[in-house]
Amino acid sequence: MDKQQIIDQTATYIKEKLAGEGSGHDWWHVYRVWKNAIHIGKHEQVDLFVVELAALLHDIADWKFHDGNEEIGPQLSRTWLESLGVDEQVISHVSQIIQDISFKGAGVATRMKTTEGMVVQDADRLDALGAIGIARTFAYGGSKGREMYNPDLKPEQHDSFEQYKNSKGTSINHFYEKLLLLKERMNTGTAKAIAGKRHEVMEQFLQQFLLEWEGKD
């Protein structure tokens, strides 16, 4: 099986697995991350085969939907890639990217170990920004039964992954606890340029949201 066949089969597998998911972590999220990763990767010296596989598989089993289990995603990815006869070096690389990719709290460093990992992490984070990032925030918050906004609950800057995982903050707080921090945490110049515009969209949205909350124009 050649590389393109492996990518095509992986895309079909993920599309079927995540179809209809309603929290913003669906196939179309993966699709956008995949396309962003290819775009960014073409400007970097990377193995695009690794980048594409990691982008496609990065949300195969997100810890947020598996009781905080960080291992299940890399494990399922490994099982899938082994079934396709992918080289062990590629499997290990992809699995490591999936293990490390997630944001783990404002005070937690999440530096990727390879340029391929940096590209995929940037692509994933770009989909958390801008108009789509706003929509995904409220889709996820609703799926978890979280309040949209509560001015009595202040944002927290989590100092550990455990604190971040156990947070029950509002959807608006999520902007301050994660999303507005991402622009400065992009790894590549290409992603930083895209993130700047999307960051501004979120700032404008929050300004208008808080005005309307108080009954203002």
Q: Please tell me the distance from the alpha carbon of residue 90 to that of residue 34, in angstroms, as a whole number.
A: 17
Q: Please tell me the distance from the alpha carbon of residue 82 to that of residue 103, in angstroms, as a whole number.
A: 27
Residue 200 has, within 13 A of its CA and on its CB side, a CA count of 5
Q: Which domains does the chain have, with CATH numbers?
A: 3-213 (1.10.3210.50)
Question: φ and ψ at 130, to 5 degrees?
Answer: 70, -160
Answering whether pTM is above 0.95, one says no
Q: Please tell me the distance from the alpha carbon of residue 150 to that of residue 190, in angstroms, as a whole number.
A: 36
Per-residue pLDDT tens for 131-155? Answer: 999 999 999 999 889 999 999 999 9
The stretches of the chain forming alpha helices (DSSP H) are 3-18, 27-41, 48-57, 72-83, 88-100, 115-126, 130-143, 161-165, 171-177, 189-213
Give pLDDT < 70 ranges for the chain.
Answer: 61-70, 105-107, 165
Q: Please tell me the distance from the alpha carbon of residue 30 to that of residue 57, in angstroms, as a whole number.
A: 8
Q: What is the pLDDT of residue 207?
A: 97
Running DSSP on this structure, what letter comes out for residue 78? H
Question: φ and ψ at 137, to 5 degrees?
Answer: -60, -45
Q: What is the pLDDT of residue 65?
A: 44
Q: What is the pLDDT of residue 24?
A: 82
Per-residue pLDDT tens for 42-74? Answer: 999 899 999 999 999 998 866 554 454 567 889
What value, to the nearest 5°, has the Cα angle with vertex 138 and ends 15 and 100?
A: 55
Residue found under tokens 């800057």: 157
Q: In this structure, are residues 26 and 18 in contact, taking their beta carbons and an 8 Å threshold?
A: yes
Token output for 17:
């697995």
Total Cβ atoms within 10 A of residue 96: 17
User: How many residues does this entry show for the chain?
Assistant: 217
